[in-house]
Structure 1
């Protein structure tokens, strides 16, 4: 399965609770942290919800 790398670029502090939980569910804790996840529709949906706080890296 294809993998996707997700990087947290903005703090979830002060953001809606659902967005903070999505960031936590993606496994992101610190700004600049990169996690690698399977590229599934569920993960893409999570990224879409918090796209202003994360970026896809190569």
Structure 2
């Protein structure tokens, strides 16, 4: 059902002690909890947020 233009984003590290801008990026992607995947569109805006907090995320094609 998901297109090749969708990405499955999963938070794998805690947000505790992170910069507010990084927390905002994770929230902007729609991720709420650790190990809960979210499917987002593969847009330049989402890619930028993913790149900024890539050390906390696992990203797969959906």
Partner residue, 1:3: 6
Q: How far apart, in 1, do the equivalents of 2:39 and 2:13 lie?
A: 18
RMSD between aligned alpha carbons?
1.2
Partner residue, 2:16: 13
Displacement of 1:29? 1.2
Q: How far apart, in 1, do the equivalents of 2:58 and 2:19 lie?
A: 19
Counterpart check, 1:49 vs 2:41: no
TM-score (norm 2): 0.86
Partner residue, 2:35: 32
Structure 1 segments of 4+ aligned residues over 3 angstroms from their partners? none
- Aligned residue pairs total 58
